[in-house]
Amino acid sequence: MLRFILRRIGYAALVLFGVTTLVFILIHVSGDPLAGLVPPGSSPEQLAQLRVAYGLDRPLPAQYVTFLGRAVRGDFGESWRQGRPALTVVLERLPATLALAGAATALASIVGIGLGIAAGWRSSGAVDLAARLVALAGQAIPGFWLGTILIAYFAARLHWLPSSGLEGPASLVLPAVTLAALPAAALTRLVRAGLRETRRADWLRTARAKGLPEDTVLRRHALRNALLPALAFVGVQAGFLLGGAVVVESVFAYPGIGLLALNAVADRDLPIIEAFVALVAVTIVIVEIGVEVAARLLDPRLRMEAGVAAAGAV
């Protein structure tokens, strides 16, 4: 297990290097970094002073080497708009986004796994039809449209929940529902398909032949195998939830890193953009490693494969 974790950490370092390099290149090939920073009609002298102040007067390879050396230490420079360290600005907004992503993950897991179990274990009837309709709707409705409808009904019409901002737990409800809709739908379909396939397995019929109750067969045997793909899917969704939070936070004016990144793109605040992308990449990598470790702890076949591979390497 230790060797596996160390190998994954090495892969993670390569991924982070590639991500930071890619974002640096895309930022500089998308146009003049100062285009959204300087006011219209600025003189060439003012532009030249700003380029020197932000280090944009040097050749691009020299800028990249400096950027990479700072990024390794967690230093992305100061925000061009706020005049504070960019990473500090992003970290201040991170708890709000983590709260939103955590609430959305919990909601998606409860709804998706619950509907998937209900539809997969009894693969006919009204429950299965309702679960499939919910999954189809969750994957078909765009997040920005769903968020707008929720605001119009629950906030503007019924006045049950806040429409924007972060003023307490109630402010999380509508953004979390909007963000959880798509992963909940995908989880429903994934768990349902896994249980439908597992129900036909020989070893499950053997468990029933031994006289085990149906709920025991479901909990101890069927679910343990059917939920492994769902566990991997939840890990993948960490990136979707943090990335999708950009759209959801803009709809609800939610003060997280997504809204901060969106404003930074509009303002061309490059240090904030770079710090945001690096932080999201690190978070995704950590979650992925945690999910893979959990999968090996739950599935002995993965541990056996890892042991055989290690023995072969020796």
Reported as a single tens digit per residue, the pLDDT across 24-67 is: 888 777 777 776 667 666 777 777 787 787 777 788 888 888 88
User: Is 259 inside a domain boundary?
Assistant: yes
| Number of domains present in the structure of the chain | 2
Please report the pLDDT score of residue 215 as a whole number. 61
Judge whether residue 272 has pLDDT over 50.
yes
Same domain, 151 and 17: no
Quote the mean pLDDT of the chain. 78
Please report the pLDDT score of residue 314 as a whole number. 42
Rounded average pLDDT over 96-105: 88
Q: Which residue has the higher pLDDT, 205 or 169?
A: 169
Domain harbouring 189, CATH code: 1.10.3720.10
User: Is 77 inside a domain boundary?
Assistant: no
Instruction: Out of 30, 48, 72, pick the residue that ends a domain.
Output: 72
Please report the pLDDT score of residue 305 as a whole number. 53
Rounded average pLDDT over 239-260: 82
User: Is 131 inside a domain boundary?
Assistant: yes
Judge whether residue 308 has pLDDT over 70.
no
80-89 pLDDT, tens digit each: 888 888 889 9
User: Is 263 inside a domain boundary?
Assistant: yes
Same domain, 264 and 186: yes
Judge whether residue 130 has pLDDT over 50.
yes
Across 15-25, b (16+ Cβ under 10 Å) vs e yields ebeebbeebbe
Same domain, 118 and 267: yes
Task: Select, from the ranges 7-16, 182-191, 290-299, 302-311, the one with the highest average predicted confidence (pLDDT).
Answer: 182-191
Q: Can you give the pTM of this predicted structure?
A: 0.77
Same domain, 224 and 266: yes
HSE value, Cβ hemisphere, 13 Å, CA-based, for 35: 9
Same domain, 123 and 41: no
Q: Which residue has the higher pLDDT, 311 or 294?
A: 294
Rounded average pLDDT over 274-294: 80
User: Is 14 inside a domain boundary?
Assistant: yes
220-238 pLDDT, tens digit each: 656 666 666 776 777 677 6
Please report the pLDDT score of residue 114 as a whole number. 82
Same domain, 31 and 130: no
Same domain, 60 and 139: no
Q: Which residue has the higher pLDDT, 14 or 308?
A: 14
Same domain, 103 and 42: no
Please report the pLDDT score of residue 245 as a whole number. 78
Please report the pLDDT score of residue 151 as a whole number. 92
Rounded average pLDDT over 308-314: 44
Which structural domain range is residue 36 located in?
A: 2-72
Same domain, 44 and 110: no
CA dist 60 to 27, 29, 35, 174, 264, Å? 12, 10, 17, 44, 21
- Lowest-pLDDT choice from 64-78, 123-137, 255-269: 123-137
Same domain, 32 and 164: no
Judge whether residue 96 has pLDDT over 80.
yes
> How many whole angstroms separate alpha carbon 87 and alpha carbon 90?
5
